[in-house]
Amino acid sequence: MRYSLWNDRIVLDEEVIIDRQDRGYQFGDGIYEVIKVYDGEVFTLSEHLDRFYRSAEKIKLVIPYSKDKLIRLLRDLVQKNNLATGHIYLQITRGISPRQHHFPENSKPVLVANVQVNPRPLANFENGVKATMVEDIRWLRCDIKTLNLLGPVLAKQEAYENGCYEAILHRDGVVTEGASSNVHGILDGVLYTHPVNNLILNGITRNVMLACANEIGLTVKEHAFTLEQLKDMTEVIVTSTTSEITPVIEIDGHIVGTGKPGEWTRKLQKQFNATIAAVVRV
């Protein structure tokens, strides 16, 4: 039996009813989070929920539950589903109302969360992946984790059709992030990453990875870089909740560094694993 969280109740999956007039369905008017679970323990839950509340505030949506209550409910959801390793998908929309663009007066937000079994992609961590460059056609509020994902969906499809794992997005040749990850390059002992602003999502994994860089003595520069500069980096990585620290070994046929995950990447992955192990028993 599988269970979902529906507003503030844990119910059987089949009991969840999504109304066709839900503004999430009609406008993508809502926000979401993807949160990793390792061996039954939810990783960086507090950080994800902080971003969830921040995203909500930015779209003027009031989440009708406290953070403590959501923490309790999401942990219960993981337990009830006996989830070992996988992730929680959590979303909230502005609610149900006859279709009109401006906010309805009396709609109640609709929250849904479910879990998915999802083993860590260890082969990607080990061997690295290919990426392709795609123009970033998204709006100018990429800091909000909105349900509107058409830009990333189109970019990811292009990557998929090119046999690539990720699309590296750029605005006028300046790399912003991946379709569903943050992108970083390493050159001469310095890790370069796009600064946190409205053009990227402030990734939770990015922040954990930056702490790891600090711990292993890798200098971090939060500077944007161009596609040409990215190609000259000796190591390129993408980070996200599900991709963790994934090395990129080829970009549109161009071989990154030696064509194998580099030494700094290996050290970062090791430190990242130690960080996970410190909070969960993996």
Told to check if 45 binds ligand PDD by CB under 6 A, we report no
240 binds ligand PDD (CB under 6 A): yes
Q: Does 194 bind ligand PDD (CB under 6 A)?
A: no
Taking only Cα atoms into account, the Rg of the chain, rounded to an integer number of angstroms, comes to: 19
Query: Could you say which of 206, 218, 271, 272 contacts ligand PDD (CB under 6 A)?
Result: 206
Spatial separation of the C-alpha atoms in residues 231 and 170, rounded to whole Å = 13
Any contact of residue 265 with ligand PDD (CB under 6 A)?
no
Q: Provide the minimum distance between the beta carbon of 132 and ligand PDD in the complex, in angstroms, as a whole number.
A: 16
C-alpha dist (Å) from residue 282 to 165, 211, 212: 25, 20, 18
- Interface segment toward ligand PDD; rule CB under 6 A; list 75-83, 199-207, 214-222, 248-256: 199-207
176 binds ligand PDD (CB under 6 A): no
Residue type present at position 78? V
Binders of ligand PDD in range 123-152 (CB under 6 A): 152
Quick one: tokens of 126? 């080990």
Q: How far does the chain reach from its first CA to its final CA, in angstroms?
A: 25
Which residue number, 81 or 176, has a Cβ lying nearer to ligand PDD?
176
The least distance separating ligand PDD from the CB of residue 102, rounded to whole angstroms, comes to 27
241 binds ligand PDD (CB under 6 A): yes
Provide DSSP, 45-111.
HHHHHHHHHHHHHHTT---SS-HHHHHHHHHHHHHHTT--SEEEEEEEE--B-SS-SSPPSS---EE
Which helix (H) or strand (E) is 250 found in, with range?
A: strand 244-251
Name the residue among 1, 17, 3, 13 with its Cα closest to residue 76: 3
Question: Which pair of tokens denotes residue 98?
Answer: 């006859």
C-alpha span between 281 and 273 (Å, rounded):
11
Question: Is 81 an interacting residue with respect to ligand PDD (CB under 6 A)?
Answer: no
Among 205, 246, 269, 271, binds ligand PDD (CB under 6 A): 205
* Active site residues per annotation: 145
Q: Which of 4, 97, 182, 246 binds ligand PDD (CB under 6 A)?
A: 182
User: In whole angstroms, how far apart are CA 125 and each of 62, 101, 152, 230?
Assistant: 38, 43, 22, 20
Among 85, 242, 273, 275, binds ligand PDD (CB under 6 A): 242
Residue with Cβ nearer ligand PDD (196 or 227): 196
How far is Cα 121 from Cα 100, in angstroms, rounded to an integer?
A: 42
Q: Which region, judged by CB under 6 A, interacts with ligand PDD, from 93-101, 109-117, 176-184, 258-266?
A: 176-184
Tell which one of 4, 91, 146, 181 touches ligand PDD (CB under 6 A).
181
Q: Which of these ranges, 53-61, 62-70, 204-212, 219-227, lies near ligand PDD under the rule CB under 6 A?
A: 204-212
- Determine, following the binding rule CB under 6 A, whether residue 180 of this chain makes contact with ligand PDD: yes
Size of the site for ligand PDD (CB under 6 A): 15
Residues that bind ligand PDD (CB under 6 A): 34, 152, 177, 180-182, 201, 203-206, 239-242
